[in-house]
Amino acid sequence: MYKVVWSETAKLTYQQIQSFVLQNWSIQIVIRLDKDVEDLVKNLRIHQRLCPSLNDYPNLRKCFINKQTALIYSIDESNKTIRLVTFVDNRMDHPFFN
């Protein structure tokens, strides 16, 4: 089983998405998002290649958490680590979605 490490950017972007969801919807939606992220992270520990790699960034992989949110992560085989790079809002123009 692989270890999961959150980058500072992943922590920050996830907090920003949580704040946005809370301001625009409800705490129940934030709780559902947290559960979805937690479930995804558990699955990534076991199935590192669960999500496809990005064409322009082959060392990165993209998972859709829901239709608004995605996670970008990388795999470090030598250290058996999954690094959560960033969370992105799928509705925004972002370099990971070329």
User: Is the pLDDT reported for residue 97 higher than 70?
Assistant: no
User: Is the pLDDT reported for residue 87 higher than 60?
Assistant: yes
Quick check: helix, strand or coil at residue 76?
A: strand
In a domain? residue 73: yes
Give how many domains the chain has, as a whole number: 1
- Tens-digit pLDDT profile for residues 27-62: 999 999 999 999 999 999 999 999 999 988 999 999
Sheet holding 69-76, edge to edge: 3-6, 81-89, 69-76, 60-64
Q: Whole domain around residue 30: which residue ranges?
A: 3-91
- Domain with 11 in it: what CATH number? 3.30.2310.20
**Averaged pLDDT of the chain:** 94
Distances (CA, A) of 38 to 33, 78, 93: 9, 24, 26
pLDDT at 63: 96
Neighbour count for residue 57 (Cβ, 10 Å): 15
